[in-house]
Amino acid sequence: MAPDLSPAALRAALEWQLESGVDTAVEAHPVNRYALPERMPAPARPEAPTAEPAAPAVQERRDPVTEAERMAAAADSLPALRDAMAAYPWCDLRLGARNLVFSDGNPEARVMIVGEAPGREEDRQGKPFVGQAGQLLDRMLAAIDMARGAEDPARAVYITNVLPWRPPSNRDPEPGEVAMMLPFLRRHVALAAPEIVVCMGNHACGAMLGRKGITRLRGQWTEGFGLPVLPMLHPAYLLRQPLAKRDAWADLLALRARLGG
């Protein structure tokens, strides 16, 4: 039998679980949160004009990537794209996330940064790169006189992620998740129309460039979604490997030089 706990003790126990990374309540019956819906409801059909027996409703199987492409293409502004992503039902990461993390910074910025996926703090605040790695990113940007909050598009950055929802326990994004969210990322970049994209880390490079191997790719200008792309080491990696900050500094200077000055 459960011990008789005071509300304060229950609250402390819950907080302890949250601190330990628990983010999903276990229910009495198992729920497969990764099962994709097999079928969508059939659209309403007009009455058949003849007396023939009505054909059974056609229930087509919808492809999540095609649906994402359709919904992304229909979005004609950043707020509309955000709404479309919030309404997209196929990615089950949404079920375990507190918030959809769409973007931060100045959408007019010349530079757009693409990261991997929200972590715990990003999920909590609904903004990308606000945890420890995000704080390091802000310091890195400040070192080349840039800031996500800057009003001047020449000094500003605009930030998003490949995935808008936090993967459970910060696991790596799965290929199926990346594939279904990629049309939204492509549209996001098209609508923001930056001059340069910085791909932060391996997963962003995998999604945007179709290539991984960030330690080889970093610092090499390339092209993605029709724009110049600079792959860089992810700030979370730099927190674990401080010696790699030398390489990150070289890449920041390359970005600064490309922007002029």
Q: Which is nearer to ligand URA, 76 or 174 (CB)?
A: 174
Going by DSSP bridges, is the β-strand pair 111-115/104-105 parallel, antiparallel, or unpaired? unpaired
Give least dist CB 218 to ligand URA, A: 15
The answer to whether 88 contacts ligand URA (rule: CB under 6 A) is no
Where helices occur in the chain by DSSP H, the ranges are 7-19, 64-74, 78-87, 93-96, 120-125, 132-143, 175-192, 202-209, 214-217, 235-240, 245-259
Q: Which is nearer to ligand URA, 118 or 219 (CB)?
A: 118
Mark residues 140-179: x for contact with ligand URA by CB under 6 A, - for none.
---------------------x------------------
What is the closest distance, in whole angstroms, from the C-beta atom of residue 76 to ligand URA in the complex? 25
Identify the bridge partners of residue 114 per DSSP, sorted by sequence position. 160, 199
Beta-bridge mates of residue 158: 105, 112
Query: Does 115 contact ligand URA by CB under 6 A?
Result: yes
Q: What x/- string results for residues 48 through 67 when contact with ligand URA is judged by CB under 6 A?
A: --------------------
Q: Which stretch binds ligand URA (CB under 6 A): 59-67, 124-132, 174-182, 218-226?
A: 124-132
Six-digit token string for 62: 């919808």
Q: Is 219 in the site for ligand URA (CB under 6 A)?
A: no
Total residues binding ligand URA (CB under 6 A): 14
Instruction: Annotate 94-157 with DSSP letters as a single string.
Output: HHH-SS----EE-TT-SEEEEES---HHHHHHTSSS-SHHHHHHHHHHHHTT-BTT-SSTTTBE
Distance CA 182, CA 107 (A): 19
**Residue closest to ligand URA (Cβ):** 115
Angle at alpha carbon of residue 95, lines to 131 and 101, rounded to 5°: 35
Determine which residue in the list 133, 181, 199, 248 makes contact with ligand URA, applying CB under 6 A: 133
Nearer to ligand URA, 155 or 234 (CB): 234
Residues that bind ligand URA (CB under 6 A): 115-119, 122, 128-129, 131, 133-134, 161, 200, 236
